[in-house]
A and B are shown apart, each in its own frame.
Chain A
Amino acid sequence: GQQLNQSPQSMFIQEGEDVSMNCTSSSIFNTWLWYKQDPGEGPVLLIALYKAGELTSNGRLTAQFGITRKDSFLNISASIPSDVGIYFCAGRSNDYKLSFGAGTTVTVRA
């Protein structure tokens, strides 16, 4: 599958700050997903978006499915130390295959 354009590649943030990252694609997806991956572990699903324009929250996380169906963003509010990790966006096509972004590495300064 294709690789999505995810940015930023990495970020250092102060505890308590908000975090934003986004993904764009040249192709349309019917589902956008956001995952967090800790070292040596598989990715864990954070938020799934199923409709263009959809805005969904999960605790301090908020994600939106772009209207064009070619982009999505993830916001993390009031970051805490356990937010450290690598965040991946993924687009799901009709055959249920996932295409992943390159990942955003988040490091929180205490």
Chain B
Amino acid sequence: GAVVSQHPSWVICKSGTSVKIECRSLDFQATTMFWYRQFPKQSLMLMATSNEGSKATYEQGVEKDKFLINHASLTLSTLTVTSAHPEDSSFYICSARDSGWTGTFGSGTRLTVV
């Protein structure tokens, strides 16, 4: 079955620094990947859609200059949280779409900004 790998699983960074999160499709090619954010005890909220070879599309209210997305290959999308602040602390989860779309998610990245 489709496997999505997300790295790192957790990261702590200082306020003002940038953090990069990777999402890889291990056994299939993903032309589209999705990035979600989940605050404690809340649901997943879609942040952006990452399309291989083109610019990402962001949901309303998500700052594209703060959350940089790069989808340079069919198996890798990255989310960079720039100039992170404590309010950016959250659980970030990616999902990759294969040809059949099996709804597979990565295991998530817990970001803590101190």
Which one of B6, B104, B107 contacts A45 once the chains associate, using CB atoms below 8 Å?
B104
B94-110 residues with Cβ-Cβ distance < 8 A to A are 95, 97, 101-108, 110
CB–CB B46/A42 < 8 A: no
CB–CB A43/B32 < 8 A: no
CB–CB B106/A42 < 8 A: yes
CB–CB A97/B103 < 8 A: no
CB–CB A96/B101 < 8 A: yes
Which one of A43, A45, A96, A99 contacts B93 once the chains associate, using CB atoms below 8 Å?
A43
A106 at the B interface (CB under 8 A): no
B54 at the A interface (CB under 8 A): no
Question: Which secondary structure dominates chain B's binding surface?
Answer: strand
B11-67 residues with Cβ-Cβ distance < 8 A to A are 32, 34, 42-46, 49, 59
CB–CB A98/B46 < 8 A: yes
Residues of A within 8 A of B59 (CB): 1
CB–CB A33/B43 < 8 A: no
CB–CB B43/A103 < 8 A: yes
Tell me which of B32, B34, B49, B103 has the highest count of chain A C-beta atoms within 10 A of its own C-beta. B103
CB–CB A100/B44 < 8 A: yes
Query: Can you name the residue of chain A whose Cβ is closest to the Cβ of B106?
Result: A42
Residues of B within 8 A of A43 (CB): 44, 93, 105
A97-B34 contact in complex given A42-B93, A43-B93, A45-B102, C-beta closer than 8 Å? yes
Q: Other than the known A35-B105, A88-B44, A98-B46, what 18 A-B pairs have Cβ atoms closer than 8 Å? A: A1-B45, A1-B46, A35-B103, A40-B9, A40-B108, A41-B108, A42-B6, A45-B103, A45-B104, A45-B105, A48-B103, A90-B103, A92-B101, A96-B32, A97-B49, A98-B44, A99-B46, A100-B44
A binding-site residues for B, Cβ under 8 Å: 1, 3, 33, 35, 40-45, 48, 88, 90, 92, 95-103
